[in-house]
Structure formats: structure tokens, C-alpha cells
Amino acid sequence: MKKFLALTLSAALMLSLAACGGGTTGDDAAKDNAAATGVAIEGDTIKIGVFEPTTGENGGGGMQEVLGMRYANKVNPTVDINGTTYKIQLVEVDNQSDKTAAVTAAQSLISSGVVAVLGSYGSGVSIAAGQTFADAQVPAIGASCTNPQVTLGNDFYFRTCFLDPFQGTVMASYAIEKGYKTAALVSQNGDDYSTGLAAFFKQAFEGMGGTIVADETYQTNESDFNAILTTIKGANPDCIFAPSSIATATLLLPQAQANGIKAQIIASDTWENETIITAAGSAAEGVALSTFFDEHDESNPVAKEFVEGFKAYLNGDPQNLTLNGGSDGVAAVSALGYDAYMSIYEALKALDGAEALNSVALRDALKAVSFNGVTGAISFDENGDAVKNVAYIKQIKDGKFNFLKTQSAE
């Protein structure tokens, strides 16, 4: 009886060990197979996640990026692969401009069965969610997340914009060309985009012979910049570089004006938003900034067609106009959002004839994508970064963004 009991316990122990991973079961094999291929494309619908902030300090810019993606989906709603016409369904989540909420939003997208992800506006949330997408082996393609850390070491993250080392150097080159010899910096503590871009500007500006006379920082959700601006006014810089969110810009500019600051204020891509002009009014006049696109540049036929169609899309629905900041101006982030969608679309088309239809195969196809996009030729380097070497410089004048010039990093 004891021998029978011992054999029974032994068998039970073996089964228990197997269930705990001590052996290979059918379920384990299925999981291993899934891990090797990511998420399979099944049925006749392909789900693509939209991972963007539509609330929080970057909600305005994130919404403009979403509009570009929605329009792209409206223009290209289906794709043919291996004789099947697949409907492309966008699954949208709000990452709330918050790193913690971003991880939850990313997990929600993976749980919904998306095979690719678009976004995000804002580097911090993209970096925070990057490992979630990599672990699920689902490719993500950012539109305007410019910090190098977004794609560094992540074989599943791509992007359609240029990077902050390039953008910081571009604005330093612009400042030097304008004859500015001294500069002040204003950046947000703990924000990867803001502090990273300020550091790249500083390195380039000093490398070109300029001098940083003030390097000021502020906290998230800070609304009173008078102490910072008093220090900067005392340093008397030729220009002030302030890479920040849209919300911060609407507060910083009127306070700079009220403090009697005359230095040229220059900024980065996030400042190309009509909300800043509306909120800051005359205080926004003269601000110069770098961006990815200009709607008036008709040298690219793809861009010309996009601008015409996107304006019709905005004007065809009052809600779209409201979400775009109240006008039919075409923001660069909308153009980048469109190009991000088209990058996935081109990669899906490249799967035609392939035996494996899954997110890993889609990631591999993305690496070889090459097409003429709205913001220029789109292809990716070994890090998944778009290959680009020119930025657009715009200046706010008479309540509008006006194109000044293209600018390289040299």
C-alpha cells in the first residue's frame, strides 16, 4: 500500500512539475511558437493601435497626430495580401501624456490584438512603453518622438521624424547664423524630450563658439516662470532656447513679454501649434522654431495631394476643425502621423506572397520600406530611425506660422 502511495505521489509530482514548466507541454510549445512570431494576422481585419496623448500637457499635439493617422486610414482603409482584402481597423488609446499611464495604454493595445502600433507624440511616453511592444514582438512606429532613446536597443521601434541631436544642432546653427553669441536655456526637469533637446542645443551651440549664459529648469505642471525669467533677463542673452510642451509655451511667452524680455525666443517642433498663437497673442510674435514640414512647399507632389485632401477632411467635419485647434492649418505632426500609417501600410503590402502573416514578419518588412512620403523620402536606418537631413524653420508673424527657410545641421 505504501509502495502504491509512493508511486501515486511520484506521478502527481511529475505532473505538477510539468505544469510548472519543468517539462514541455502542448501549451508551452504553442507559447514558444507565438513568442517567435508575435501576433498573427487572422480573419479579414488587421488591427493597428494608435498610441497617442489626447489629454494631458501634450494632448493638443497628440490629437493633431491622430488626425493625420485617421485621415490616412480613410484614404487607405484596406490592403490586399495573398488574395484576401483586409480591412484596417484603428484601435485608439489615450496615453495621457504620462509615463505610467502610457505603459497601461500600451498593454491595453497588445491585449486587443493589434499587429502594429502608431505613436507616440512625446518621447517620454514612447520610451516608457517601448519594452511592452518589444516583449509582445509588435512593431511600433513613432511620428514625432525625437529622443534617441526611443529606438536605441529596441528592435521593434521605428519613427518617421528626425532626431533631437539633429534638431538641437539645427537650431544652434540657425542661432549662430543669425549672429547670436549668447543663449539661455529653459527646460523641464524629468522630461526626456525637453532636457535632451536642451542638452543637444547646448553642446552644438558651444561647439560653434556660442556661450550659454543661463541654464534654467522648471517642474512638471509649473505655471509661474517669473523667477526663471528674472534670472534670464539678468543674464541678457541674445536668444532663449525653450523646448517645451504646448501648454508650457502658452504660459511662458506672456510672462516673458510681461518681464520685458527682448531676446529672440527660439523653440522646437512642439511649438508648431495654433493654440500657442491663440493663447499667447502678441507675446508669440517673432518666435522661431524648427519643424518637419511646411504645407506651402509644393515641390513634393505627394505632400501637395495630402494637404489638399487633409484640409477637405478637416473642413468636412466641424469636430475635426475643433480638434485641430480651430483652423485648417496643416501641422507637421499631422503629416508625420500620415507617414507613420503609410509606413505600416507599405510594409503590409510587402507581405503579399509571404507564408507567415504576423507582427514579426511585419517588423521585418518595415526595415526594407522605401517610399516617397508627405514629409519626404521614407526609409529607416539600422536603428529604425528615418533617414532625414533637413528641417524647416518657421516664424510666427501676424498671428501665423510663416516659412523662413530649410536648415541643415551644418
* 356-385 mean pLDDT: 95
* 142-165 mean pLDDT: 94
User: Grid cell 509530482 — which residue?
Assistant: 13
At residue 287, does pLDDT exceed 50? yes
DSSP 272-328: --HHHHHHHGGGGTT-EEEES--TT--S-HHHHHHHHHHHHHHHT-HHHHHHTTSS-
Q: Are residues 68 and 84 in the same domain?
A: yes
Report the CATH number at residue 140.
3.40.50.2300
In a domain, 1, yes or no: no
Q: What is the dihedral of CA 340, 134, 270, 91, to 10 degrees?
A: 60
Q: Could you tell me which residues are beta bridge partners of residue 45?
A: 87
> Given 3-state DSSP classes, what are the helix, strand and coil percentages for the chain, each rounded to the nearest 5?
50, 20, 30
Task: Share the mean pLDDT of the chain.
Answer: 90
This prediction's pTM: 0.80
Q: Are residues 280 and 355 in the same domain?
A: no
pLDDT of residue 14: 36
Residues of the domain holding 364: 45-162+298-379
pLDDT band at 410 (very low <50, low <70, confident <90, very high): low
Instruction: Write the DSSP symbol of residue 219.
Output: -
Q: Are residues 402 and 270 in the same domain?
A: yes
pLDDT digits (tens, 9 = 90+) for 236-252: 999 999 999 999 999 99
pLDDT of residue 211: 98
At residue 22, does pLDDT exceed 80? no
pLDDT of residue 409: 65
pLDDT of residue 12: 38
Q: Are residues 232 and 203 in the same domain?
A: yes
In a domain, 364, yes or no: yes
* Distance in angstroms (rounded) separating the CA atoms of residues 292 and 393: 9
pLDDT digits (tens, 9 = 90+) for 122-149: 899 999 999 999 999 999 999 999 899 9
In a domain, 40, yes or no: no
User: Grid cell 547646448 — which residue?
Assistant: 202
pLDDT of residue 296: 87
Q: Are residues 177 and 233 in the same domain?
A: yes
pLDDT digits (tens, 9 = 90+) for 179-210: 999 999 999 999 989 999 999 999 999 999 99
Q: Are residues 73 and 212 in the same domain?
A: no
Q: Are residues 207 and 283 in the same domain?
A: yes
Give the chain's length.
410
pLDDT of residue 113: 97
In a domain, 372, yes or no: yes
Q: Are residues 212 and 240 in the same domain?
A: yes
Q: Are residues 149 and 191 in the same domain?
A: no
Residues 166-197, buried b or exposed e (16+ Cβ, 10 A)?
bbbbbbbbbbbeeebebbbbbbbeebbbbbbb
CA 235 to chain centre: 34
pLDDT of residue 7: 38
Q: Euclidean distance between the first and final Cα of the chain, in Å? A: 87
Q: Are residues 177 and 277 in the same domain?
A: yes
Number of domains into which the chain is organized: 2
In a domain, 14, yes or no: no
